[in-house]
């Protein structure tokens, strides 16, 4: 039974489907790549789109429809709720140099829709995910200056906006979907009103980059050492269009390689240059950090900002990838520049002091933490780009222009200090996350050693008490946060060092293949040994052997020194190849002829003693693999014995020159076998083996699989008579036969009238086809003794070849301008292909199978077409993939949902199990779904599969892991926030300090009609809050959310970050407008002493000098003596009513009326400012009021961001409100699991309204599970929905 299954598996691997083997990339393919959330890497190669599974590092799909070079590729976002109606699917958009955009269904290899506007190449492209209602919107930049919003589901153009400046690229603000930044040739345009309903109303605000000398207020040093660059001592600013610019100090944007937003922090824009990276704070329009490249370092090519941690991944011209981690302001133990290369322990090779680079302690600084090995980069081999996994952010794909794809993965090793090198300044180590103090080891999260030792905060069904390592899926699992101090949080993990490890390498077809030859065809005698191998030869003397079933490179032989001219297979595992350089003026070359045995790697050289001679025109191996003929251009041919490797005959000089030659597929093997059988009965001689047996012969040359064996006694191989025909320059057809070392001529047939010089011959059965230089085919039927001439009108016929298979009369015909497929039996054309109109120039053709031609083209690709020459890609279910792939996006919707719900939570089972048992019988394809789900679970990553049954944090933690595993962006964000606030709320309720209050700082006194100034100790500005001033308790022990969550972070973390930023802004002041903005922000944050100082710094010749002096007096008077709030509030209200919103809000904040200020801001549509002010200055109850009103605004139909509103409610601890919104959105599965998680943590109030809501959610979830065929799970949730689920439960029992 096992042998039969192995045979079935082998036969399945022999299945050949339409596909493309890609090779070198075009220059315009640079930047045409994207790594999707589902773990797939897509990149453009010439006119094809290649899809690679990064886990198994194999090509899954090649997509062919573009006629021009692919210039952009983008995966559709996964930031939406997935269900049966909006399932997991592989959707991809690609754009070419002719402006055509194609949206693909990758799994089916079909285009869903295509559209274009103009014929110029697309410069930039991005998917939108700003609303919950639709995820089909695609933004494209059409040169020279048009932005078009497309509906990628229908191909409809929603709107088009043309700007006045030429646009090179664009980038969306990841924190505000209404903000779009455009990079022009000499300016940057900021659009602040981007919506899907209408185009932007203006042409954007235009800014230029200007470099100004740093001053004392900028915080940079003026130490001028010879090695320091002036660029580091200058502050680069964004100057508005109306401002006067110093031309000599302007910074050219033409040299800007890339513009992108920082994903980890709001309001930060990155500008990449070859020798430096500028970090621009858009609130002050000024650089707050510069990452310079050292003189000996390799220039930058590309930068990828990470989201989970404040980390930058940079690609350099030498092919290396570096990782730079944000240095927390004031971090101790930093003694050296952040730009000097470091070793694996963080030590610097250069002890250049920090001041030599002009960096301030307040600058945004990124330390170089690790760098991959550099590559051998030449003029023709160079890196094209890097792309990181958006889900894990720990893997990077490096794409080279020669078609190689390298997958680098970040690992951590324990930090070991070097005591002997204590004199060398070094960086403090990074630390592992340290999720809780009870972890024991950072390798284990949680470390489940004993139920009594580790007391989980909830009841979790555990199989056995066992220590299971936490799967390190993401960057956040490798290193902890480095921006802030959180008590002693930085020291909870261990010191670690980052390292890059090469985990995958994918090779492409070497530079354009000139020769393609398929191995001998599959027969009934060789199916147990057969592999569909194709040999490709290129101009550099390299021969690559690919397995066409899997599409993977099987062998590679660099055995020739010059261009490969021809390859001929002599068995399933060996081939002959010949090569020679381009002929000299004398027309002679040095030929190379080599026999290669792929089983042993042995190579045998023929004719090695020959010097300069006429080049080899063709090489033909006989049908029985006994002989081969070498035809020269200006020299008679040679006949060789393949079995012994000896020259049998060299034809005389007066022999006619050959233009075409072909061996006969028939022989006298049958009569010879009969004769030997009669002889064996009388003389006991060994009978002749089957000629079709492909086992190795025992000849002196050890040439395997030659087709005819020698007898066991004699020393001479048995000979079978074989025939061949050839034509000379006059078109005369000669017939010869060979037997042993005897060669005799037969008939001579004169040329047919109308035929030109014959260039090629094909022979199969009783049919011979000749092709000539004029494009004529002459089809001879030897049995009927008739011939027929067929003019193709295509010009010179370069090659013709019959398809394999008995009775198959399909014929490939190769021309200079394309190819045809003919049926010689019916004498009709089956299909045709024109090049380069429909495809790149075809250099060689071959039959892959009896109905699939294989083409080598000048663009370096090898394509397997269908018989109609229309399709060279196939659905994934038809492809033979060597390694099983874990990708739920490839499953049918019902299977993917069943798998997801099973892995997330299965309370209906007594124990958590990694297997789907059965589905209801009335579900179509129920057994197939069960099989597919279980197969996917088997190939799931082992560390995750082992950990899932032992998730100490229950449903929430398991759902987060599954979201990352599925590449579900929306679920990942949701469960990350849920996990944090469930643990924080549970810890808060267990905390003696904050049990009855959400406040993390002392409560303010209730407001009265008379303003009471605060204590003077509270009015002094502190850049970062001192740990001693905060009340340390259990509920502050968890690491905070990353700042990429922005306003969803807890108030204490958010306040600390904003204080750090405003301190940085203060330190970077260079203009009056900047100083004024800092003073206003200090007033809003109740840092009034610093605000007074800044107002008093206004120069006397400034037109605002008198106004600022009065403001300073007002602020100082209010803070020192106090005044009636009613008067100030009345003035503030009047200012707001008369258009002075900012001034009125500042006055309200001066008298601690922050809540009123937030309400006014929200009334006037300044929602983000209101949220910022509330989280920075208000207590929990007042902040909660502001954010709840903001959540209501997000739920409005015209805004339609309910998913964000849900996260806002969760961040406030209002879990029941989040459930209500989820229920209204019909996200019943997410709501049910969230309710289960809240119940496990004991955080869901036991009120009647909430019980009814939860029961309704469970009932709807039961309906979903019932529709998926999971009867047992549906019955469980019917029971939990009380009387509401009785009817459904009865239906399930009846089923």
**Confidence at residue 1118, expressed as pLDDT on a 0 to 100 scale:** 78
Instruction: Choose the weakest-confidence range: 323-337, 410-424, 1052-1066.
Output: 323-337
Confidence class of residue 1093 from pLDDT cuts 50, 70 and 90?
very high
**Confidence at residue 363, expressed as pLDDT on a 0 to 100 scale:** 79
Across residues 1257-1269, what is the average pLDDT? Answer: 93
**Confidence at residue 241, expressed as pLDDT on a 0 to 100 scale:** 67
**Confidence at residue 327, expressed as pLDDT on a 0 to 100 scale:** 85
**Confidence at residue 250, expressed as pLDDT on a 0 to 100 scale:** 57
Across residues 892-898, what is the average pLDDT? Answer: 95
Q: What is the pLDDT of residues 770-810, one digit of tens each?
A: 999 999 999 999 888 888 999 999 999 999 999 999 889 99
Can you point out the beta strands (E) in 317-471?
321-326, 366-371, 383-388, 395-400, 405-414, 430-431
**Confidence at residue 244, expressed as pLDDT on a 0 to 100 scale:** 52
Cα–Cα nearest to 1175, from 1167, 1164, 1165, 1186? 1186
Give the sign of the dihedral formed by CA 1053, CA 1055, CA 1057, CA 1060. negative
Across residues 1112-1123, what is the average pLDDT? Answer: 72
**Confidence at residue 470, expressed as pLDDT on a 0 to 100 scale:** 86
Across residues 634-655, what is the average pLDDT? Answer: 90
**Confidence at residue 670, expressed as pLDDT on a 0 to 100 scale:** 62
Q: What is the pLDDT of residues 1138-1172, one digit of tens each?
A: 999 999 999 999 888 999 999 999 999 999 999 99
**Confidence at residue 676, expressed as pLDDT on a 0 to 100 scale:** 61
More confident residue, 1065 or 741: 1065
Give the sign of the dihedral formed by CA 1157, CA 1162, CA 1163, CA 1166. positive
> What is the residue whose two structure tokens read 């003389």?
683
Helix, strand, coil shares of the chain as percentages rounded to 5?
25, 30, 45
Confidence class of residue 1285 from pLDDT cuts 50, 70 and 90?
low
Classify burial at 749, counting beta carbons within 10 Å of its beta carbon; exposed 0-12, middle 13-18, buried 19 or more.
middle
Does residue 167 surpass a pLDDT of 90? yes
**Confidence at residue 249, expressed as pLDDT on a 0 to 100 scale:** 52
Across residues 297-302, what is the average pLDDT? Answer: 94
> Which of helix, strand or coil describes residue 689?
coil
**Confidence at residue 709, expressed as pLDDT on a 0 to 100 scale:** 47
Distance CA 927, CA 922 (A): 11
Across residues 547-556, what is the average pLDDT? Answer: 91
Q: What global pTM score does this model have?
A: 0.88
Across residues 153-182, what is the average pLDDT? Answer: 94
Confidence class of residue 57 from pLDDT cuts 50, 70 and 90?
very high
**Confidence at residue 452, expressed as pLDDT on a 0 to 100 scale:** 39
**Confidence at residue 1086, expressed as pLDDT on a 0 to 100 scale:** 85
Instruction: Choose the weakest-confidence range: 654-658, 886-890, 1213-1217.
Output: 654-658
Which pairs count as long-range contacts for 5-11, CB under 8 Å and 24+ apart, including other chains? 7/528, 10/527, 10/528, 11/527
β-sheet with 638-641: strand ranges across: 616-621, 627-632, 638-641, 646-650
Q: What is the mean pLDDT of the chain?
A: 83
Distance CA 729, CA 503 (A): 57
Phi, psi angle pair for 546, to nearest 5°:
-105, 145
Instruction: Choose the weakest-confidence range: 87-91, 124-128, 178-182, 1037-1041.
Output: 1037-1041
**Confidence at residue 672, expressed as pLDDT on a 0 to 100 scale:** 63
Say if CB 346 and CB 369 are below 8 A apart. yes
Percent of the chain with pLDDT over 70: 81
Q: How far is CA 112 from CA 91, 93, 105, 128, 1233, in A?
A: 9, 10, 6, 18, 34
**Confidence at residue 439, expressed as pLDDT on a 0 to 100 scale:** 36
DSSP letters, 568-609, are: EESSSSEEEEEE-----TTS-B--EEEEEETTT--EEEESTT
Instruction: Choose the weakest-confidence range: 534-548, 990-1004, 1157-1171, 1185-1199.
Output: 990-1004
Classify each residue of 791-812 as buried b or exposed e, where b means 16 or more C-beta atoms within 10 Å of its C-beta: ebebebbbbbbbbbbeebbbbb
Q: What is the pLDDT of residues 607-619, one digit of tens each?
A: 888 889 999 999 9
Structure tokens at 143: 């040169």
Does residue 1221 surpass a pLDDT of 60? yes
**Confidence at residue 852, expressed as pLDDT on a 0 to 100 scale:** 93
**Confidence at residue 358, expressed as pLDDT on a 0 to 100 scale:** 41
Does residue 304 surpass a pLDDT of 90? yes
Cα–Cα nearest to 729, from 592, 842, 633, 595? 633
Q: What is the pLDDT of residues 419-450, one digit of tens each?
A: 655 444 567 788 888 654 333 334 433 333 33
Instruction: Choose the weakest-confidence range: 330-339, 362-371, 918-927.
Output: 330-339
Does residue 895 surpass a pLDDT of 80? yes
478-482, 663-667, 906-910, range with greatest mean pLDDT: 906-910
**Confidence at residue 212, expressed as pLDDT on a 0 to 100 scale:** 64
Paired with 237 in beta bridges are: 210, 286
Does residue 346 surpass a pLDDT of 50? no
Gyration radius from the chain CA atoms: 37
Percent of the chain with pLDDT over 90: 58
């Amino acid at each position: 039974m096992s042998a039969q299954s192995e045979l079935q598996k082998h036969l399945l691997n022999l299945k050949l489907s339409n596909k493309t083997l890609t090779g070198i990339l075009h220059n315009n393919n640079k930047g045409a790549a994207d790594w999707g959330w589902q773990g797939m890497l897509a990149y453009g190669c010439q006119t094809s789109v290649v899809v690679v599974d990064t886990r198994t590092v194999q090509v899954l799909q090649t997509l062919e429809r573009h006629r021009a070079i692919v210039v952009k590729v983008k995966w559709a976002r996964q930031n939406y709720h997935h269900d049966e109606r909006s399932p997991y699917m592989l959707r991809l958009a690609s754009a070419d140099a002719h402006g055509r955009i194609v949206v693909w269904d990758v799994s089916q290899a079909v285009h869903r829709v295509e559209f274009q506007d103009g014929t110029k190449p697309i410069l930039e492209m991005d998917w939108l995910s700003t609303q919950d209602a639709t995820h089909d919107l695609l933004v494209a930049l059409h040169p020279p200056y048009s932005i078009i919003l497309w509906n990628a589901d229908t191909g409809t153009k929603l709107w088009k906006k043309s700007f006045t400046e030429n646009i090179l690229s664009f980038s969306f603000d990841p924190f505000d979907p209404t903000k779009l930044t455009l990079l022009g040739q000499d300016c940057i345009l900021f659009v602040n009103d981007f919506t899907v309903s209408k185009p932007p109303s203006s042409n954007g605000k235009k800014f230029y980059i200007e470099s100004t000398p740093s001053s004392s207020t900028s915080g940079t040093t003026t130490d001028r050492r010879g090695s320091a660059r002036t660029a580091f001592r200058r502050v680069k600013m964004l100057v508005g269009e109306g401002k006067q610019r110093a031309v000599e100090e302007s910074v050219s944007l033409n040299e800007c390689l890339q513009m992108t937003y920082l994903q980890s922090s709001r309001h930060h824009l990155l500008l990449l240059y070859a020798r430096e990276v500028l970090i621009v704070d858009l609130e002050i329009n000024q650089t707050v950090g510069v990452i310079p490249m050292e003189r000996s370092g390799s220039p930058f090519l590309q930068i990828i900002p990470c989201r989970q941690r404040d980390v930058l991944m940079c690609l350099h011209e030498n092919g290396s990838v570096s990782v730079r981690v944000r240095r927390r302001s004031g971090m101790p133990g930093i003694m050296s520049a952040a730009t000097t290369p470091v070793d694996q322990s963080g030590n610097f090779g250069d002890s250049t002091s920090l001041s030599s680079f002009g960096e301030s302690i307040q600058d945004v600084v990124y330390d170089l933490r690790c760098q991959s090995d550099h590559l051998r980069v030449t003029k023709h081999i160079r890196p094209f780009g890097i792309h990181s996994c958006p889900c894990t952010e720990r893997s990077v794909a490096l794409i080279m222009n020669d078609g190689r794809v390298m997958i680098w993965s970040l690992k951590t090793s324990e930090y070991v200090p070097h005591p002997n090198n204590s004199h060398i300044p070094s960086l403090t180590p990074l630390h592992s996350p340290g999720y809780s103090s009870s972890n024991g080891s950072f390798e284990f999260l949680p470390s489940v050693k004993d139920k009594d030792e580790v007391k989980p905060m909830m009841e979790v069904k555990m199989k056995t008490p066992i220590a299971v390592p936490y799967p390190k899926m993401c960057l956040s699992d490798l290193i902890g946060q480095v921006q802030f101090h959180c008590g002693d949080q930085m020291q909870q993990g261990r010191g670690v060092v980052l390292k890059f490890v090469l985990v995958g390498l994918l090779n492409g077809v070497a530079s354009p293949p000139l020769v393609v030859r398929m191995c001998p065809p599959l027969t009934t005698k060789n199916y147990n040994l057969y592999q569909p191998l194709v040999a490709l030869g290129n101009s550099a003397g390299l021969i690559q052997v690919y397995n066409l079933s899997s599409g993977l490179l099987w062998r590679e032989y660099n055995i020739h020194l010059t261009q490969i001219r021809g390859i001929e297979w002599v068995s399933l595992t060996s081939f002959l190849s010949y090569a020679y350089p381009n002929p000299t003026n004398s027309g002679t070359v040095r030929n190379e002829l080599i026999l290669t045995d792929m089983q042993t790697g042995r190579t045998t050289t023929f004719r090695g003693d020959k010097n300069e001679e006429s080049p080899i025109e063709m090489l033909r191996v006989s049908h029985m693999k006994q002989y081969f003929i070498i035809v020269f251009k200006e020299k008679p041919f040679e006949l060789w014995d393949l079995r012994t490797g000896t020259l049998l005959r060299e034809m005389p000089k007066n022999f006619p020159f050959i233009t075409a030659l072909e061996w006969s597929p028939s022989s006298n093997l049958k009569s010879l076998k009969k004769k030997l059988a009669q002889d064996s009965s009388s003389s006991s001689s060994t009978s002749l083996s089957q000629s079709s047996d492909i086992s190795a012969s025992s000849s002196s040359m050890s040439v395997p699989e030659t087709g005819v064996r020698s007898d066991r006694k004699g020393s001479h191989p048995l000979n079978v008579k074989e025939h061949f025909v050839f034509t000379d320059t006059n078109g005369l057809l000669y017939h010869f036969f060979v037997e042993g070392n005897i060669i005799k001529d037969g008939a001579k047939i004169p040329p047919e009238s109308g035929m030109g010089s014959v260039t090629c011959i094909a022979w199969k059965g009783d049919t011979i086809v000749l092709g000539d230089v004029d494009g004529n085919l002459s089809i001879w039927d030897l049995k009927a003794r008739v011939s027929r001439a067929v003019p193709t009108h295509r010009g010179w016929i370069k090659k013709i070849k019959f398809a394999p298979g008995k009775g198959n009369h399909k014929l490939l015909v190769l021309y200079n301008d394309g190819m045809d497929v003919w049926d010689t039996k019916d004498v009709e054309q089956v299909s045709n292909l024109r090049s380069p109109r429909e495809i790149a120039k075809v250099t060689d053709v071959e039959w892959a199978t009896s109905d699939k031609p294989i083409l080598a083209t000048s663009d370096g690709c090898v394509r397997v077409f269908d018989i109609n020459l229309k399709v060279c890609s196939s659905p994934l279910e038809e492809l033979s993939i060597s390694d099983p792939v874990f990708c739920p996006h490839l499953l049918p919707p019902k299977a993917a949902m069943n798998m997801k719900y099973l892995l997330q939570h299965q309370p209906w089972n007594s124990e958590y199990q990694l297997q789907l048992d059965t589905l209801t019988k009335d579900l179509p394809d129920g057994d197939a779904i069960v099989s597919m789900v279980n197969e996917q679970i088997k190939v799931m990553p082992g560390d995750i599969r082992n950990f899932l049954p032992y998730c100490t944090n229950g449903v929430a933690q398991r759902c987060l892991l599954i979201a990352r595993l599925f590449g579900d962006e929306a679920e990942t964000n949701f469960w990350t926030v849920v996990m944090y606030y469930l643990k924080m709320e549970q810890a808060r309720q267990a905390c003696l300090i904050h049990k009855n209050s959400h406040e993390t700082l002392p409560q303010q006194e209730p407001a009265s009609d008379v303003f009471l100034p605060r204590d003077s100790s509270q009015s002094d500005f502190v850049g970062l809050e001192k740990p001693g001033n905060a009340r340390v308790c259990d509920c502050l022990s968890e690491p905070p959310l990353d700042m990429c969550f922005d306003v969803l972070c807890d108030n204490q973390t958010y306040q600390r970050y904003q204080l750090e930023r405003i301190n940085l802004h203060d330190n970077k002041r260079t203009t009056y407008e900047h100083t004024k903005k800092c003073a206003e922000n200090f007033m809003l944050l109740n840092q009034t002493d610093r605000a007074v100082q800044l107002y008093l710094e206004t120069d006397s010749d400034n037109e605002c000098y008198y106004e600022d002096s009065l403001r300073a007096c007002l602020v100082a008077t209010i803070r020192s003596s106090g005044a009636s709030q009613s008067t100030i509030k009345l003035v503030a209200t009047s200012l707001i009513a008369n258009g002075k919103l900012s001034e009125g809000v500042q006055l309200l904040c001066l008298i601690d009326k922050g809540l009123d200020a937030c309400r006014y801001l929200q009334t006037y549509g300044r929602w983000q400012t209101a949220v910022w002010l509330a989280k920075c200055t208000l207590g929990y109850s007042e902040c909660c009021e502001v954010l709840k009103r903001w959540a209501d605004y997000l739920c409005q139909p015209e805004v339609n961001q309910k998913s964000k509103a849900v996260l806002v409610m969760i961040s406030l601890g209002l879990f029941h409100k989040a459930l209500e919104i989820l229920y209204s959105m019909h996200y019943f599965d997410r709501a049910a699991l969230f309710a289960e998680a809240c119940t496990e943590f004991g955080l869901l109030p036991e009120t009647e309204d909430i019980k009814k809501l939860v029961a309704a959610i469970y009932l709807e979830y039961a309906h979903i599970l019932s529709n998926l065929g999971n009867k047992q799970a549906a019955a469980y949730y019917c029971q939990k929905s009380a009387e509401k689920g009785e009817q459904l439960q009865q239906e399930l029992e009846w089923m």
